[in-house]
Amino acid sequence: MVGRPERRAPGRRLPVFPWDTLAAARDRAAAHPSGLVDLTVGSPVDPVAPVLREALASVADRPGYPTTIGTPELRAAMVSSLARRYGVTGLDESGVLPVIGTKELVAGLPFQLGVGEGHTVVIPEVAYPTYEVGALVAGASIVRADSLTQLGPSSPTLLLLNSPSNPTGKVLGVDHLRKVVSWARERGVIVASDECYLGLVWEGEAPSILDPRVCGGDHTGLLALHSLSKTSSLASYRAGFVAGDPALVAELLTYRKHAGLMVPLPVQAAMTAALDDDAHESAQRERYRARRDVLKPAVEAAGFRIDDSEAGLYLWATRDEPCRDTVAWFAERGMLVAPGEFYGPRGDRHVRIALTVTDAAAAEAARRLAG
């Protein structure tokens, strides 16, 4: 008699959720006489701009289902914003698609593109943990690599980039991205570039994978992932989108229609307003710049080296010790930071310090760092 297959516990194929391992450090930091300053999760703290809230409310009485592909106004706004803000040309409305927050898309992207067992997904050596989770959910193998030479003669199915990077803030330049695109096209590899922090550059410039200097105006095999969580403080709205190769976007759309992955219509209206209005985005960027100007010198004066961090919402800091020792040092002073090991083995001597705190919290953190 053939026995029943072993029943696998739900979630066993996935790693422990990293933030759950910070409970003891959080408790220690929270015991500080002046309270906890949380510098871990990059969750916005600033109010949603009135123009976006008004747009959300304007269609709050619509009872019907929204379209998965997005309203015509939203699709036009996605195309125009990428052209206006980042110099992306050659894109039309067949190459854009709204998503329910970019983390959802990252976690499901390999599976939705048909990647699975027997396929390989390349992720950065130091990377947002959901890249690994997305590959595991799809059943694919994972390779961590930051250079094409590390990959040798292999031909992965999907290569994930993140520029500007979470957690390091590192930016990949035009020449680097152009080489990646050329290499991928020679091998038929899909390149998906997570560009959620593209609107938050502090030093130099950060090009999109869809920039004509990178791809020659040809988006074949390329996807760019964008989020409004940070640049427009819309994390609670779950507002993001993907742009690029119309054939790949169509494949994602087909799956998402079957799965009912629709962005709520009020959120689509708010996204349209956010993408059409550059003033609120610029104002939010300057708020983060001001907090960076407070925290960065304070961290450095406390004896830490900040690596990369030329863009994005984090400081990638180290004093060349195990990252959990650094977490404990901050916790003693009532501050919680994220250990770099969350993002891969090569992050084990860094911590990630978020700029997504109020002005008062940034000033208090700087005061504590000064001793």
291-303: pLDDT as tens digits: 999 999 999 999 9
Residue 259, φ and ψ in degrees, nearest 5: -85, -5
Domain match, 268 and 285 both: no
The count of C-alpha atoms lying within 13 angstroms of the C-alpha of 66, restricted to the half-sphere facing its C-beta, is: 23
| The residue count for the chain | 371
Question: Is cis: bond before 164, omega within 30 of 0?
Answer: yes
- Choosing from 257, 277, 297, the residue where a domain stops is 277
Looking at residue 336, its pLDDT comes to 97
Angle at 157 between CA 154 and CA 163, to 5 degrees: 95
Alpha-carbon distance of 112 to 254, in angstroms, equals 9
* Position 198 pLDDT exceeds 80: yes
* Position 205 pLDDT exceeds 80: yes
Domain of 117 in residue numbering reads as 62-277
Q: Average of pLDDT values for 335-364?
A: 95
Please give the mean pLDDT across all residues of the chain.
94
Q: Give the whole-number percent of the chain exceeding pLDDT 70.
A: 96
Domain match, 104 and 32 both: no
* Encoded tokens for 164: 């500007």
Question: For residue 9, is it within any domain?
Answer: no
Q: Average of pLDDT values for 335-348?
A: 94
User: pLDDT tens digit string along 67-78?
Assistant: 999 999 999 999
Domain match, 273 and 284 both: no
The count of C-alpha atoms lying within 13 angstroms of the C-alpha of 251, restricted to the half-sphere facing its C-beta, is: 16
Q: For residue 365, give the CATH number of its domain.
A: 3.90.1150.10
Question: For residue 24, is it within any domain?
Answer: yes
Alpha-carbon distance of 303 to 226, in angstroms, equals 35
pLDDT band at 152 (very low <50, low <70, confident <90, very high): confident
Strand extents, DSSP E, the chain: 37-38, 96-99, 120-123, 141-144, 158-162, 190-194, 222-227, 240-244, 305-307, 314-318, 335-336, 338-339, 351-354
Domain match, 188 and 119 both: yes
- Choosing from 277, 293, 318, the residue where a domain stops is 277
Domain match, 157 and 188 both: yes
Looking at residue 8, its pLDDT comes to 44
Looking at 92-158, list the stretches that DSSP marks H as alpha helix, in order from N- to C-terminal side.
102-112, 129-138
* Position 2 pLDDT exceeds 70: no
Q: For residue 254, give the CATH number of its domain.
A: 3.40.640.10
* Position 236 pLDDT exceeds 90: yes
pLDDT band at 3 (very low <50, low <70, confident <90, very high): very low
Domain match, 114 and 232 both: yes
Q: Give the whole-number percent of the chain exceeding pLDDT 90.
A: 90
Q: Average of pLDDT values for 219-236?
A: 96
- Choosing from 253, 277, 301, the residue where a domain stops is 277
* Position 10 pLDDT exceeds 60: no
* Encoded tokens for 196: 């959620």
* Position 362 pLDDT exceeds 90: yes
Domain match, 33 and 129 both: no
Q: Average of pLDDT values for 28-56?
A: 94
Domain match, 199 and 221 both: yes
Q: Average of pLDDT values for 330-339?
A: 96
Looking at residue 155, its pLDDT comes to 86
Q: Partners of 99 in the beta sheet?
A: 240
Domain match, 284 and 355 both: yes
* Position 308 pLDDT exceeds 80: yes
User: pLDDT tens digit string along 155-193?
Assistant: 899 999 999 999 999 999 999 999 999 999 999 999 999
Alpha-carbon distance of 72 to 113, in angstroms, equals 24
Question: For residue 11, is it within any domain?
Answer: no
Nearest of 170, 145, 171 to residue 160 by alpha carbon: 145
- The total number of structural domains in the chain stands at 2
* Position 324 pLDDT exceeds 80: yes
CA 267 vs. chain centroid, Å, equals 19
User: pLDDT tens digit string along 79-121?
Assistant: 999 999 999 999 999 999 999 999 999 999 999 999 999 999 9
Domain match, 310 and 262 both: no
Question: For residue 2, is it within any domain?
Answer: no
Q: Say what angle helices 129-138 and 102-112 make with each other, to 10 degrees.
A: 30
Q: Average of pLDDT values for 260-268?
A: 97
Domain match, 171 and 77 both: yes
Looking at residue 19, its pLDDT comes to 78
Looking at residue 12, its pLDDT comes to 52
Domain match, 67 and 216 both: yes
